[in-house]
C-alpha cells in the first residue's frame, strides 16, 4: 500500500482526501491519502524523510517554501515559482505544478481556443501565476488585473498589468477570477461588476465553493459560457496521481463521480 499526503497548515477542511480516495477506488492504485498539518515546514520534511511516503501535495502556505527542499523542479513550476506536487524517489524530492496542468485541462473542457486571444486574469497570486503560464503556453495573450499594478510588474515577464479602473475600457475572450472574492463567507461579492463581465465571451472562476459564485451568476445572466474551479481542483489531483504512479487516469470519469459529492446540499466542498 503506497502512502500519499497533503502538507500545509490549517488545512483539515481539505477536500483532497475525498478526491484521492475516489481516484484510488476508480483505478488500480492501492494507496492511502492523508493530511499532514504542521506550522513548521522543516518538521514536515523530517517526518516525510523518516517515512515511506511516495509523494505529497503541497498547499497553503508552503507552495513556495518547498522549492528549497527539492532535488528537481519541473520547468513550468520553476517559471511559476510554486510547487504543489512532489514525487519522492529514493528519499529525493521531485517537484511539479499540477495546478498549471489542471488549468490547461479546464481550458480543454471549456473548448477554448486561446491563440492570440486576450485573457484577463483578476489577481496576481499563485493561482494567477499558474493561469498566466497556461495562457502563455496556449499562445494566448494574458493580461493581469491587480489592485497594485506597479508593485507586481516584476512577477509577470513581458505581460501587460492593469488596474481595475483600466479594465472598464477593455474587452476580451476569457475573464478569470483568481482572487478569493466570492468564496465563503462573502458569497454575495464579485471581484468585478456586470458592466465588465458583459465584455467577455467566457468566464472561469477558480473558486469551487460555492458552486455558483456571484461572478458566475452574473455571467450566466448574460449567457456567457461559465466554469467554476472544481474541474481544475479534480484535475490537479488526477495529474498528481499520474505523476506519482506513472499511469493515465480519465479526469472526466472522476469529475462526474465527485461533482455530486462536492455539491451535496448538506455539505459543500471546502
Residues that bind ligand NAP (CB under 6 A): 99, 102, 123-128, 146-148, 152, 178-181, 183, 191, 206-208, 229, 232-233, 236
In the complex, minimum distance from the CB of residue 147 to ligand NAP, in angstroms, rounded to a whole number: 4
220 is an active site residue = no
In the complex, minimum distance from the CB of residue 146 to ligand NAP, in angstroms, rounded to a whole number: 3
In the complex, minimum distance from the CB of residue 181 to ligand NAP, in angstroms, rounded to a whole number: 5
- Residue 105: name the closest of 263, 250, 226, 245 by CA: 250
Our CB check for ligand NAP shows the closer of 28 and 188 to be: 188
Catalytic residue among 63, 118, 129, 214: 63
Our CB check for ligand NAP shows the closer of 5 and 204 to be: 204
Report the alpha-carbon angle 50-51-56, nearest 5.
115
Our CB check for ligand NAP shows the closer of 102 and 219 to be: 102
Report the alpha-carbon angle 97-164-202, nearest 5.
60
CA distance 137 to 93: 26
Our CB check for ligand NAP shows the closer of 146 and 240 to be: 146
In the complex, minimum distance from the CB of residue 139 to ligand NAP, in angstroms, rounded to a whole number: 23
Burial of 203 (0-12, 13-18, 19+ CB in 10 A): buried
The residue sitting closest to ligand NAP, measured at its beta carbon, is 125
The set of catalytic residues is 63
Amino acid at each position: 500500500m503506497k502512502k500519499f499526503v497533503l502538507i500545509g497548515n490549517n488545512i483539515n477542511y481539505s477536500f483532497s482526501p475525498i478526491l484521492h480516495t475516489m481516484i484510488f477506488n476508480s483505478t488500480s492504485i492501492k494507496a492511502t491519502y492523508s493530511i499532514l498539518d504542521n506550522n513548521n515546514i522543516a518538521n514536515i520534511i523530517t517526518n516525510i524523510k523518516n517515512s515511506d511516503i511516495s509523494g505529497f501535495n503541497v498547499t497553503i502556505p508552503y507552495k513556495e517554501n518547498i522549492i528549497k527542499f527539492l532535488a528537481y523542479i519541473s520547468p513550468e513550476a520553476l517559471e511559476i515559482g510554486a510547487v504543489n506536487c512532489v514525487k519522492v524517489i529514493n528519499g529525493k524530492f521531485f517537484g511539479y505544478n499540477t495546478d498549471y496542468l489542471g488549468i490547461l485541462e479546464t481550458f480543454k473542457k471549456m473548448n477554448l481556443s486561446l491563440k492570440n486571444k486576450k485573457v484577463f486574469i483578476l489577481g496576481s497570486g499563485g493561482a494567477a501565476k499558474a493561469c498566466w503560464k497556461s495562457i502563455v503556453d496556449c499562445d494566448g495573450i494574458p493580461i493581469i488585473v491587480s489592485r497594485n499594478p506597479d508593485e507586481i510588474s516584476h512577477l509577470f515577464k513581458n505581460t501587460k498589468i492593469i488596474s481595475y479602473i483600466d479594465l472598464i475600457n477593455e474587452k476580451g475572450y476569457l475573464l478569470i477570477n483568481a482572487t478569493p472574492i466570492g468564496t465563503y463567507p462573502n458569497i454575495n461579492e464579485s471581484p468585478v461588476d456586470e458592466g465588465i463581465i458583459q465584455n467577455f465571451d467566457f468566464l472561469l472562476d477558480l473558486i469551487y465553493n460555492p458552486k455558483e459564485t456571484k461572478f458566475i451568476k452574473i455571467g450566466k445572466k448574460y449567457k456567457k459560457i461559465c466554469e467554476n474551479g472544481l474541474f481544475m481542483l479534480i484535475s490537479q489531483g488526477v495529474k498528481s496521481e499520474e505523476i506519482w504512479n506513472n499511469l493515465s487516469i480519465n479526469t472526466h470519469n472522476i469529475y462526474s463521480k465527485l461533482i455530486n459529492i462536492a455539491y451535496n446540499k448538506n455539505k459543500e466542498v471546502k
